Homo-oligomer: A and B are copies of this chain.
């Protein structure tokens, strides 16, 4: 169960934020965990329940979402390769949102007490995890602005840009060409629109040659033009200094 290398991605991610010494690394990699393969749609945590584990995405995609009164769903974030999943719920205890697999994939699960204790025993790791969740928070803010103040057209263009960069950083695609891992209905839940309107908007983006589509594959001809349409400025992603895409 406890593959000693499974937490490598987590280590890499955190080391980006804080220099970690030998003892930090040992402690982190030594965290008890088990790697599991989940099917698409599987719930890792449900809203209102107690969070028991925090996870590291090893493959596949997962989403966090909330369900509002009428039954409508809002996706609040999307996780991919290397992302820490549910640190938020784990540290706070009670889940204020659900975490669900979007596609099938492998996740390394770590019991929450161990994660919390690790942060207390190894302040640099604690700081790094904090920073990681702060980036999540920064993305939340951008999403509030996206959903609250941009029309369907730029809203979707914005999401496509975000995906483009994040997938490239995660090593899952090129900035100009990637596989979108979600249905139009899920896209709609992420941007606060209806599936029908997402469909129409994608078509428009395609007609105006901002993107090309082939099944779920998105091709971006002129990245800058799409970024302009989406009012996209990657500052909020707090990515490593210079991403090639931004040149």
Task: List chain A positions with a Cβ less than 8 A from chain B.
Answer: 48, 64, 66, 68-70, 72-74, 76, 88, 91-92, 94, 96-97, 116, 119-121, 123-124, 126-127, 129-131, 133-138, 140-145, 147-150, 154, 191-192, 231, 235-236, 238
Q: How many copies does the complex hold?
A: 2
Q: Is the CB of A150 within 8 A of B91?
A: no
Q: Which of B76, B124, B238 contacts A92 (CB 8 A)?
A: B238
Who on chain B is nearest to A65 by CB?
B145
Q: Which residues of B contact A135 (CB under 8 A)?
A: 92
Within the assembled complex, what's the spacing in Å between the Cα atoms of A222 and B209? 53
Who on chain B is nearest to A129 by CB?
B130
Q: Which of B69, B97, B119 contacts A123 (CB 8 A)?
A: B119
Q: Is the CB of B66 within 8 A of A137?
A: no
Q: Which residues of B contact A120 (CB under 8 A)?
A: 123-124, 127
Q: Which residues of B contact A129 (CB under 8 A)?
A: 130
Q: Is the CB of A130 within 8 A of B91?
A: yes
Q: Is the CB of A147 within 8 A of B144?
A: yes
Q: Is the CB of A149 within 8 A of B73?
A: yes
Who on chain B is nearest to A48 by CB?
B235
Within the assembled complex, what's the spacing in Å between the Cα atoms of A68 and B154? 10
Who on chain B is nearest to A192 by CB?
B148
Within the assembled complex, what's the spacing in Å between the Cα atoms of A127 and B127? 8
Who on chain B is nearest to A238 by CB?
B92
Q: Is the CB of B96 within 8 A of A238?
A: yes
12 inter-chain pairs at a CB distance below 8 angstroms, sorted by A residue, are A48-B235, A91-B131, A92-B138, A92-B238, A96-B138, A96-B142, A97-B141, A120-B127, A130-B130, A130-B133, A133-B133, A140-B144
A55 to chain B, nearest CB (A): 16
Known: A68-B145, A92-B135, A133-B134. 10 other contacts (CB 8 A): A70-B231, A73-B149, A92-B134, A96-B236, A97-B138, A119-B127, A120-B123, A126-B130, A144-B192, A147-B147
